[in-house]
Amino acid sequence: MKKLSINLGLNSYAIIIEDDLLFHLSFYIEQIYHNDKIFIITDDVVAKYYLDTVIEGLKFRYDVETIVFPNGEASKNIDNYVYLVKELLNKNIRRNHLLLALGGGVVGDITGFVAATLYRGLPYVNVPTTLLSQMDSSIGGKTGIDFAGRKNIIGAFKQPKLVLIDPRVLNTLSQREFNNGMGELIKHAAIGNKELFNKLKSKPLIDENIIFESLTVKKQVVEKDEFDVNERMLLNFGHTFGHVIELKYNYKHGEAVAMGMLMAIKLGIDLGVTKKTCYEDILAIIKAYDLPCEAFDYKAYLASAINDKKNLAGKLNFILLEEIGKAIIYPIEESKLKELL
C-alpha cells in the first residue's frame, strides 16, 4: 500500500494506491465518512466488471444506491448531469451523503461536478478505473462537463475527500487504453522526475510504486497552485499541441499528448531552451509504449495552438522542457512565434 497526501488546507485528502483495493473500499472510506449511505455513480462498461465487487465490499457497512449511465465521452453532457441530479433526488440524497465515482475520466468529472453543485456541495470519493484517470483527472479537483462542442467548458474546482486507486484494474484495460494512460504517466516523468523517466525506458510493470512516483509529480504541482493560475500549467506539457491533434484527428487524449510532447520539444529546441537529446529520449519511450509518433510539424499547428491557449494578460505561455525532469512556463511574444513560422 502506498499513501500520498494532497495538502490543500481544508481541502486536503489522501490518495491510497493498493492492489485489490476494490474489494475493501469501506476500510478507507470509514476513516473519512461516518454517515450510512453511499451513492455510486458509474458507467455500464465499468459496472459490468467491478460494480458487484465494490458493492459487496461496502454493503456490510453502508446502504448503497447505484446510478449507471452509458460509457463514453458523449455522456459527459448537461443532459446526463440533469439525469444524475434527478436520480439522486429521487433516491432522497441528503447534503451529508457521499457520492462515489467508479470509472474513468467521464465518470469522475461529471460525478465531481454533481458533487460540486448539488446542495452547493456534497462529499465525493474517486475510484478511477483507467490508467488515464488514475494519472490525471481523478486527482486535483477539476470537475466538469462538455458543452457547445467544447470539452470541460462548464465545471468547478471541487476536491474529492479521498482517491482510491487499485492498480489491478489495469489488467482489464485494452492495450490501447493502457497506453493512453501511459501518455500522461510519461508526461509526469518528463516534467518532474528524471529517475522515473529512466525507469520507464525498460517498460516496468505499472505497479503501486510507479503510480505513486508519477502522482507525486502531480501532487507537488497541484499543492502549489490548486486553482490553475500558475505552476499547475506545467501539467499541460504536450497539451497545447495535443489538444489540436485530439480535436482534428481520432486520437485518444494520452496519444495526442504524446505527439504534443514531441512537438513542444521541437519548439523548445528551436527556441534554444530545450536540450537537443530530449527529443530522442522521449521518442524512444513513446515508441516503446506504442503511442503514435507521427512527424507532425509543430509549425503547421502553431496558429491553432495559439488560439487554443488560455492566455493570461496577453502573454502566450508555452510549457517547455529544459531537460528531462525539468519543465518551465515559457512566455513567448506572438511576434517571436511568427518568426519561427
Nearer to ligand GLY, 6 or 58 (CB): 6
Tell the smallest beta-carbon distance from residue 93 to ligand GLY (Å).
Answer: 27
Nearer to ligand GLY, 102 or 233 (CB): 233
Tell the smallest beta-carbon distance from residue 86 to ligand GLY (Å).
Answer: 29
Tell the residue number behind the cell numbers 494578460, with chain if given.
Answer: 313
Binding site for ligand GLY (CB under 6 A): 136, 140, 142, 228, 232, 235
Tell the smallest beta-carbon distance from residue 136 to ligand GLY (Å).
Answer: 5
Tell the smallest beta-carbon distance from residue 234 to ligand GLY (Å).
Answer: 9
- Please state whether beta strands 2-6 and 13-17 pair in parallel, antiparallel, or not at all (unpaired): antiparallel
Nearer to ligand GLY, 97 or 232 (CB): 232
Nearer to ligand GLY, 80 or 152 (CB): 152
Nearer to ligand GLY, 57 or 140 (CB): 140
Tell the smallest beta-carbon distance from residue 196 to ligand GLY (Å).
Answer: 18
Rounded to an integer, what distance in angstroms lies between the CA atom of residue 156 and that of residue 134?
A: 19
**Cβ count within 10 A of residue 272:** 6
Count the residues in the chain: 341
* Three-class SS state of 95: coil
